[in-house]
Amino acid sequence: MELKAGLMPPISQSAQRAQRVLRRLLRGEGLRPKPSRLDLASFSKSFDVTPRTVLEIGANNGGDSERLLATFSAATLHCFEPDPRALALLQSRVTSERVRIYPVAVGDVDGLLPFHQSGGAPPGKEQQYPEGWHFSSSLHKPTNHLTEFPWCTFEETIEVECVRLDTWYENHDIGTIDFIWADVQGAEPDLLRGGQEALRNTRFLYTEFAESGLYEGHLPLDALLELIPDWRVVTRFPNDLLLENLAFRGA
C-alpha cells in the first residue's frame, strides 16, 4: 500500500497501549514502591457504612490502637492482649471511652495455655526495652524466628487465659464486626479455626503473615485460606494480608 507524503501508517491498539505505558514510566508512574503496610486512611474509604465495631487482636502497647481509634472515629475498639508487660503499657496509653480491653489471647481453645514470652532487644536499643522485647510473644514455640532474629530470645513461658473468638462473640451482643486487625505472631490458624462464626459476620480482616513460618504450626497461604473459603485476598503486603469477606459484597 502506497502512503501519501507526510502520512504514517495507523498504529495498532497494542502499540498504542505500549506507548501509554512508556509515557507513564517516563513520568515515574508505576515505579513507586508498594506500601509495606495497610494505609488505614485510604482503607477506611472501602466502607459504604460507618464502621461501628473494630477488633484488635494482639494490641500490644497500643500504638496501632491509637491509629485505629483515629481512623474509625465512631467505632468501639475491642483490644485483646495477653502479655502482662504489653498489657500494662496498653492500659496506661489507651484510655478512650470507646475502648474495651481484654487481658486474654485469642486461639482455638478456651482455657489456660502456655505463652512464650519474647525478650532481648534489637542491637543498640536495649535501654528502650528494659523488660525485654514484647512484640514477638506467641502461643506457639518459635522456629525460624530464632535464626531470622537471633537477638530476640524466648527464655520465659507463662500461662495465659485463651478464648476462642467464637466464644467471645457469642458472649457479646456485637452483630457485624466491621474490621479485625490481627497480630497474633504465628497463631493465625488458631484464630481462624476458633472464629468461624464470628468471621462469617466480619467484613474485613487484616493479619500478619510470614511466608517462611516463624513459629510452630505455620500454614502456607493456600492452606490458611482454605480455613476461610468465602474470603478473598484484597492486598498482599510484604508481611501482612488484607482479606475481604465476599458474603458482604453487594449486601
pLDDT tens digits in sequence order for the chain, 251 residues long: 554 555 555 566 666 565 654 554 454 444 445 678 899 988 988 887 789 999 999 999 999 999 999 999 999 999 999 999 999 999 999 999 999 999 999 999 999 999 999 999 999 999 999 999 999 999 999 999 999 999 999 999 999 999 999 999 999 999 999 999 999 999 999 999 999 999 999 999 999 998 888 999 999 999 999 999 999 999 999 989 999 999 998 65
Task: Show the CA angle centred on residue 158, arms to residues 156 and 161, nearest 5°.
Answer: 150
**211 within 8 A of 239, measured Cβ to Cβ:** no
Cell numbers representing residue 171 in the block: 458472649
Would you kindly state where each structural domain of the chain is located, as residue ranges? Answer: 40-248
> How many other CB atoms sit within 10 Å of the CB of residue 48?
7
What CA–CA distance (Å, rounded) separates 240 from 76?
23
How many whole angstroms separate alpha carbon 210 and alpha carbon 213? 5
CATH of domain 40-248: 3.40.50.150
pLDDT tens-digit series, residues 203-216: 999 999 988 889 99
For residue 245, the one-letter residue type is: N
C-alpha cell recorded at residue 166: 467464637
Distance CA 119, CA 191 (A): 24
**Residue 94's closest CA among 67, 113, 71?**
67
d(CA 5, CA 226): 63
Alpha carbon distance 46, 197 (integer Å): 23
State how far the Cα of 146 lies from the Cα of 167, in Å rounded to an integer: 33
Task: List the beta strands (DSSP E) in the chain.
Answer: 53-57, 76-80, 99-102, 105-107, 111-120, 152-164, 177-182, 202-208, 231-236, 240-245
DSSP H/E element including 85:
helix 84-93
pLDDT number for residue 28: 44
Cell of 20: 501509554
d(CA 68, CA 54): 8
